[in-house]
Amino acid sequence: MYFITISEMIGTNGEKIARKVAEELKYTFFGEEALFEAASEMGFLSDIKKLDEKAPALLERFFSEKPKIYLDRLQSVIYEVAKKGNAIFFGRGGQFLLQSFGCAFHILVTGSMEKRIQRVMEEKQVGKEVAEKIISRSDHDKRAFIRFAYDEDWLNCRLYDLLLNTDKLSIDSAVKMIVDAAKSDGIKSCGTESVQLLGKLSLNRKVESILLEAGVMSPHLFSTVEGPDSVRLYGIVNSPEEKEGIEKLVKKIKGVKNIKNELVVFTRSMSGA
């Protein structure tokens, strides 16, 4: 199985190119609509919609765990659908989440500001001033979201295998270049181990988000996904009730069958007092 992630600067025809590449390769296209559908099936739709490729407000990031919960659930959805294989991921940070997979091919579609303004004016039926504002806001939101979610610069060329400037390229020409490049011998198919890893990564995000949502995460609480349905809990808690409650929370996660609860209840003797 293979993955292609396509990111775009607005006004470069990136989404049209991504959709056509999916058609040519007969891959599943995961843009907003398909990811929302997958999120709905997992019970995460409202959380995913609250991110929408925008960084949360500064106060919310500092005084609430909600942005981290939303992000964990977005990432869990992407990992989960990636297990099905042969997919095009448009936006949402797929180039970061799948960066370590040799079967993933990462593309950034770019263009000059002049050409981007022209396209936005035509597509949105707006004047130059409004087009410039649309582009500025889109670039700002994407930059802020990627910085918040992955602590990276979304325009860092090292993150991509192919950069396409569409100023002089038609949509069909860009699609052909991507399809030909995606068939390179250097891009190896993902096997069973990759599917298993995606499952573990997805489950890890689910565990973290449910613990954050319940307000029980602490610097002394840790979890590890040891298998497709197995979670290990370890660290320190304040009471037997808290230890039991954390285990019950994790048991609620769909697909979790085995929990190794190695949490230690803190006592005064452990503090050296």
pTM, two decimal places = 0.86
- Three state DSSP letters for 101-166: CCCEEEEEEECCHHHHHHHHHHHHCCCHHHHHHHHHHHHHHHHHHHHHHHCCCCCCHHHCCEEEEC
* Residue 155: per-residue pLDDT: 93
pLDDT for res 59: 41
Say what the pLDDT of residue 62 is: 43
Residue 252 β-bridge partners? none
Those residues of the chain that have pLDDT short of 70 are 52-64, 268-273
How many residues in total does the chain contain? 273
pLDDT at residue 72, as a whole number: 92
pLDDT of residue 199: 92
Q: What is the pLDDT of residue 189?
A: 80
Cα separations in angstroms, 43 against 156, 213, 240 = 33, 14, 30
Which domains are delineated in the chain?
3-182 (3.40.50.300), 214-271 (3.30.1340)
Which spans in 151-217 are helix H? 171-182, 192-213
In this predicted structure, what is the pLDDT of residue 223?
A: 95
The pLDDT assigned to 54 comes to 61
Residue 112's pLDDT is what? 97
How many other β-carbons are positioned within 10 Å of the β-carbon of residue 100? 10
Q: How far is 27 from 18, CA to CA, in rounded Å?
A: 10
